[in-house]
Each structure stands twice: as C-alpha cells, then as structure tokens.
Amino acid sequence: MTTMTISRLPSVPAVAAKAVPLFPSAHAALIFALHYSMQQYDRPLMNRIASGELTAGVSPGGGTGLSGLDGAGQAGMIRAELARLSPIEQAVLVAHAAPSQIPCACGIACCSGFKTNPEWQDAMSTLTTAAASGALSGCVSNGRLRSALIQRLFGAKVTLAELAERFEVDDKTASAHQAKLKRWLFGGANGVTGLHQQALRKLSSRFEACGWIEVCVGLSREEH
C-alpha cells in the first residue's frame, strides 16, 4: 500500500522582508526634523503600518508617515545626530533646510503673522561671520552684504543688481563675492567640495548607520 503525504507550504516567508528607511535622503530627514511641529496626536506608527495605512514607512501623500509622539521622537533623534557635527557644519545644514520664518501668535495688529526663525537666524549669523575669514579672506566685505549673498545662495529671491544697489557696492564686487561664497559653500570644478557637501556627507553617514536613509554612493545638493 502506497502512502501519500500532502506537504504544506511554509506559512512564513523564507526570507525576511527588507526594512525600508523612513527618509529618501539626509536632506529630507533634516527638513522633517527642522520643520516638525506636533499639531495632533495620532495612533502609534507600528499600528498604522500594521493596518496598511503606511507602506514601507511612507504615507500615501509622500511623507514619512510620522506624526504626534512618533514624529516628535524621530525629530528629536535627528536633531541629536545633527548636534554631533561641528558648529559650522550644523549652521550650513540648518541654513539650507530650516524655514527662515515661523508663525507668530503675538496678536499685535501690525504683525504679519510670521517672525524670523531664531534657529535659522543663528545659523546665518555663524555662516556670515565664518565667511569673512573663509570664502572672503583677504577681501574687504560688508557683513550685511555677505549675509544677503549667502541667503541668495540658499534660495532668497533677489538679484545681484538689487543687492549691489542696496549695499552701495559695484556690481562686479557683488558678483565676485557671490562666486567665492558659492565655491566655499557648494564647491566647484575639479571635484572641489564645499562646506555644505562635506557636512551633509558626515550627517548622511550617521543617518545610514541608524537605518533612517538608504546607503548612498555620492551626494548632490539637489538629491541630498
């Protein structure tokens, strides 16, 4: 008599699913932490993942899916890693990723509803001071012009001609200082890296070790 047995397929996967990082890049993680505001309490992250609301830690809207206490905790951990960098490295990353203005609830009639973000302002002050002996060493430069040029490099909508007129300098001077500051911050030809890339690479290594972002080969200002 021949005995037949029915084999069962394993009920669990033979290979464990690969954990997917919470953030696509170190810059995205920084933006999350520096912009984070606890507006509401939400269900714990693991509950939302289990219910299918989140796929691989990413919300349908394209964010990290972190909010409430989960978001506050993650933002705090990101900030703790940022604090391990040197002051100038912290400053260049904060200047790039933090909002320049935050909501103001003073209630004064003349208030626009926004005020300068102290964290961003401190970062800009650090960079402006450091640029005098760094990017513009040997040059006579106006501190307010240095600050405005750095802000322009980080996205402020103002032309060089407007800055030259505002601070009463020659157009060529404003342009020359801008070029030196850009090279100092973001590097240039022949593989020269700037302060921003150097700082971001250090922070990216820390975030990779924590499992918060994918391991990256090379970084660019736009991608990271």
205 domain residue, yes or no: yes
Interatomic CA distance for residues 40 and 169, integer angstroms: 49
b/e string for 31-55 if b means 16 or more Cβ within 10 A? bbbbebeeeeebeebeebeeeeebe
Helix, strand, coil: what percent of the chain each, to 5? 50, 5, 50
First to last CA, the chain: 68
Please check whether residues 72 and 98 belong to one and the same domain. no
Please check whether residues 112 and 179 belong to one and the same domain. yes
Tally of structural domains, the chain: 2
If pLDDT is split at 50, 70 and 90, which confidence band does 45 have? Answer: very low
Q: Which position has the token pair 């320049």?
A: 100
One-letter amino acid at 149 equals: L
Say yes or no to pLDDT of 136 above 90. Answer: yes
**Which pLDDT value is given to residue 167?**
94
Return the closest-CA partner of residue 91 out of 47, 121, 69, 61: 121
Say yes or no to pLDDT of 58 above 90. Answer: no
CA distances from 138 to 28, 132, 167, 177 (A): 36, 8, 20, 12
Please check whether residues 49 and 131 belong to one and the same domain. no
Read off the DSSP letter of residue 14. Answer: S
**Which pLDDT value is given to residue 214?**
81
Q: How many residues does the chain have?
A: 224
Interatomic CA distance for residues 24 and 224, integer angstroms: 8
8 domain residue, yes or no: no
Element (H, E) at 159: none
Please check whether residues 93 and 180 belong to one and the same domain. yes
Say yes or no to pLDDT of 180 above 90. Answer: yes
Say yes or no to pLDDT of 29 above 90. Answer: yes
In the predicted model, what is the mean pLDDT of residues 189-194? 87
13 domain residue, yes or no: no
- For 128, the token pair is 């402006």
One-letter amino acid at 96 equals: H
Please check whether residues 75 and 155 belong to one and the same domain. no
15 domain residue, yes or no: no
3-state secondary structure 28-63: HHHHHHHHCCCCCCCCCHHHHHHCCCCECCECCCCC
Please check whether residues 74 and 151 belong to one and the same domain. no
**Which pLDDT value is given to residue 223?**
42
Please check whether residues 98 and 180 belong to one and the same domain. yes
pTM of the model: 0.76
12 domain residue, yes or no: no
Say yes or no to pLDDT of 43 above 60. Answer: no
In the predicted model, what is the mean pLDDT of residues 144-161? 96
Say yes or no to pLDDT of 38 above 70. Answer: no
Please check whether residues 200 and 218 belong to one and the same domain. yes
Interatomic CA distance for residues 105 and 146, integer angstroms: 31
Please check whether residues 164 and 97 belong to one and the same domain. yes
Say yes or no to pLDDT of 85 above 80. Answer: yes
Beta pairing partners, 58: 55
If pLDDT is split at 50, 70 and 90, which confidence band does 3 have? Answer: low
9 domain residue, yes or no: no
120 domain residue, yes or no: yes
* Average per-residue pLDDT for the chain: 80
Say yes or no to pLDDT of 213 above 60. Answer: yes
Say yes or no to pLDDT of 187 above 70. Answer: yes
Burial of 168 (0-12, 13-18, 19+ CB in 10 A): exposed
Say yes or no to pLDDT of 75 above 80. Answer: yes
Please check whether residues 51 and 127 belong to one and the same domain. no
16 domain residue, yes or no: no
Say yes or no to pLDDT of 63 above 70. Answer: no
**Which pLDDT value is given to residue 59?**
38
**Which pLDDT value is given to residue 141?**
85
Please check whether residues 108 and 175 belong to one and the same domain. yes
Range of the domain at 141: 89-186
**Which is more confidently placed, 141 or 5?**
141
Please check whether residues 73 and 106 belong to one and the same domain. no
Return the closest-CA partner of residue 30 out of 127, 144, 119, 134: 119
